[in-house]
Amino acid sequence: MASDLMEPERIPLPELDAAFAAIMSEIVATGVAPHYAELAGTLGIAPIRAKALVKRVIDLTPGWLHPGTDYIASFPPFNNQPTQYRVSIDGEQRWFAQCAFEALAIRWLVPGQIVTVDAPCLLGGDPLRIVMRDEEILSVDPPTMVGYTRSVVGGDVATRPFR
């Protein structure tokens, strides 16, 4: 049925992958997540279909929409709203990370480029900085910087929708 095409749970995986890739590409290029109406143009589909795609992609990831809106607030590893995790790529600061651990993944989205993350320490407020390129950590300041999470990370590889 035509109505099935709008039900987010029934969207085929290749369409979800295409939407995920388009959203991520836009954030990497501009620092801003696209609205579903913009995504529709990028994917060559109707806005209502793009809206369903965004909803389903967000449901399947640790991202979220701004409450009560259709605006992407967070699309890991990036955050569309400013956070304390300021990200610079090759010296240009226009991105924000969702969290400190997610910030480390940004380097894989921009091969060969220098990624700098600046943030205040959440306990003491002192400035923290990590500089990375690809698989190399170029500098950590202060050198005693550590991170902690009590969240389970990862998941069953067989059920991850995005590759």
Question: For the chain, which residues make up each domain, given as ranges?
Answer: 2-75, 79-141
CATH 3.40.630.10 fits 2-75, yes or no: no
CATH no., domain 79-141: 3.15.10.60
Taking only the tens place, the pLDDT of each residue in 87-128 is 999 999 999 999 999 999 999 999 999 999 999 998 899 999
Q: How confident is the model at residue 83 (pLDDT cuts 50, 70, 90)?
A: very high
User: Using CA atoms, how far apart are residues 145 and 57, in angstroms rounded to an integer?
Assistant: 33
Across the chain, mean pLDDT equals 90
Q: How confident is the model at residue 159 (pLDDT cuts 50, 70, 90)?
A: low
**Which residues make Cβ contacts (< 8 Å) with residue 89, sequence separation at least 6?**
95, 106, 110, 113, 114, 115, 116
Handedness of CA 11, 28, 152, 154 (dihedral sign): positive
pTM of the model: 0.84
Structure tokens that stand for 155 in this block? 């998941």
Instruction: Output the pLDDT for position 10.
Output: 84
pLDDT at 163 over 70: no
**Which residues make Cβ contacts (< 8 Å) with residue 57, sequence separation at least 6?**
16, 19, 20, 23, 63
pLDDT at 9 over 80: no
